[in-house]
Copies of this chain bind each other. A is one copy, B any other.
């Protein structure tokens, strides 16, 4: 768990220098793009788990999810991104930005990253049972954040 938290802090520090130039509306766009693209790839893995297992497709999809999850998206929640900006809508709840929840948000993000990394590892090893388990954990990570911090 210490290692996971350290990774989370590392991810934040990796990302820390990058966002200054990105406008708030673009931060919202980019974070939504990341989640949307992960969603497509989760769908492909789901299809493979429920139908005929396509090893290479699962690997490619899991790599995309893990790499997006590990790309330092926390910087895309900068000041000004807590509400709609013109046509750019966001469903993030104010609670997400409450410093009292920072630790909880960080924990969810770190566990999500860890699950996505496990998913990519299981996929690379072609271990369908492990993929199934890590897929469930990754999906649970999505849901944990949506349930608490995303408006319907």
Do residues B68 and A64 form an inter-chain contact, with CB atoms below 8 A?
yes
- Give A62's nearest chain B residue, CB to CB: B67
Contact A47 B18 (CB under 8 A): yes
Copies of this chain, complex-wide, total 2
Chain A interface, number of residues (Cβ within 8 angstroms): 37
Mark interface residues in A16-34 (1 if CB within 8 Å of B CB, else 0). 0110011000100110111
Q: Does A37 have its Cβ within 8 Å of any Cβ on chain B?
A: yes
| Per-residue interface assignment for chain A, residues 32 to 60, with 1 indicating a CB less than 8 Å from any chain B CB and 0 otherwise | 11101101110110010000101011001
Q: Which residue of the partner chain B has the closest CB to A18?
A: B44
Residue of B nearest to A59 (CB): B14
Given A14-B60, A67-B64, does the pair A37, B33 have CB atoms closer than 8 Å?
A: yes
